[in-house]
Amino acid sequence: MSEPSSTPLRLLFIGDVVGRSGRAALAERLPGLRRAWALDFVVINGENAAGGFGITEAICEEFLEAGADCVTLGNHAFDQREALAYIDRQPRLLRPVNYPPATPGRGAGLFVAARGQRVLVVNVLGRVFMDQLDDPFAAIDRELNACRLGEAADAIVIDMHAETTSEKMALAHFVDGRASLIAGTHTHVPTADAQILEHGAGYISDAGMTGDYDSVIGMQKAEPIRRFTRKTPGARYEPALGEATLCGLAVEIDASTGLTQKIAPLRLGGRLSQSRPDFWEPEAPAQ
């Protein structure tokens, strides 16, 4: 197995990549960030990568080539039907763990990071204002009991794909100390609560989308406005095509405990205020 190392694990988590503009931001920035920050592991939520709905084989492979180690999904996991077959061939693509038992693919994967660290990633769906799936708390509990932090895994990342901040926070506190990071996804809006919880897990309610923020959660504005104001059928949702903001989290994880030592929001490009992890850029001027 890997050499024991005291160097912390550097992890980047990127929120829902939406459509072409999100993919362009990722392709442009991720390879450079991976090198510049010497990242050990990168997780990308790709549930909206293909025209806003689901993911294709070509797009997932593009993410892996750009520097992702694992691509997670959510309620849009199988909007592109080809993903139903592809996911069984691509162990780095994860769908929610609390889907029914016969669903193709896996909800959790144990991967080897850049310097040999073992990283467990679990994708789970919330149930409040969403489809009624199996209990996400029980599902996560099972995964964490089967692969314990500090024993079978050096780091554990949970992508909690859910609508409400309360369900995300409750799940995070439920697993605090047993997982390294609980990153919320799905709402497509970054929250300002990135923090280290009481027992050492990193947390954010939502990492935000990687997409064009001149939009309604990544989609061109006219059709969502129309649907809110008129109760008649209209056009398809289409992703907005302006410059995306790459949104996510920079996380440093202790090599021996698997707990989070440092956490910072990442927002690069596009319309949102910019945020970079100063702990990976000591030479950058203070802001």
**Among residues 15, 52, 74, 107, the one that binds Fe ion under rule CB under 5 A:** 74
Alpha helices, DSSP H only, in 37-176? Answer: 57-66, 82-89, 136-146, 165-175
Sequence-distant (6+) residues with CB within 8 A of 70 are 41, 42, 43, 44, 92, 93, 94, 109, 111, 119, 121
Residue placing its CB nearer to Fe ion in the complex, 45 or 117: 45
Interface with Fe ion, residue 75, by CB under 5 A = yes
Is 161 a catalytic site residue? no
Interface with Fe ion, residue 245, by CB under 5 A = no
Residues near Fe ion (CB under 5 A), total: 6
Sequence-distant (6+) residues with CB within 8 A of 111 are 41, 69, 70, 92, 118, 119, 120, 121
Nearest to 240 by CA among 266, 219, 261, 264: 219
- C-alpha 246/C-alpha 22 separation (Å) is 7
- Taking CB atoms, the residue at the shortest distance from Fe ion is 16
Interface segment toward Fe ion; rule CB under 5 A; list 42-50, 131-139, 198-206, 264-272? 42-50
* Number of C-beta neighbours around residue 221 at 10 A: 11
Nearest to 40 by CA among 255, 245, 210, 203: 255
Residue placing its CB nearer to Fe ion in the complex, 14 or 197: 14
Interface with Fe ion, residue 16, by CB under 5 A = yes
Residue placing its CB nearer to Fe ion in the complex, 197 or 240: 240
- C-alpha 21/C-alpha 83 separation (Å) is 21
Query: Which single residue is written with the structure tokens 């802001």?
Result: 287
The tokens describing 51, both together, are 């025209």
Residue placing its CB nearer to Fe ion in the complex, 21 or 48: 48
- Minimum CB separation of residue 206 from Fe ion in Å reads 10
**Among residues 48, 123, 210, 220, the one that binds Fe ion under rule CB under 5 A:** 48
Which of the following is catalytic: 76, 161, 186, 188? 76
- C-alpha 286/C-alpha 81 separation (Å) is 47
Residues 160-219 interacting with Fe ion (rule: CB under 5 A): 186
Interface segment toward Fe ion; rule CB under 5 A; list 19-27, 73-81, 82-90, 219-227? 73-81
Interface segment toward Fe ion; rule CB under 5 A; list 32-40, 46-54, 89-97, 223-231? 46-54
Q: Which residues are catalytic?
A: 76
List residues near Fe ion by CB under 5 A: 16, 47-48, 74-75, 186
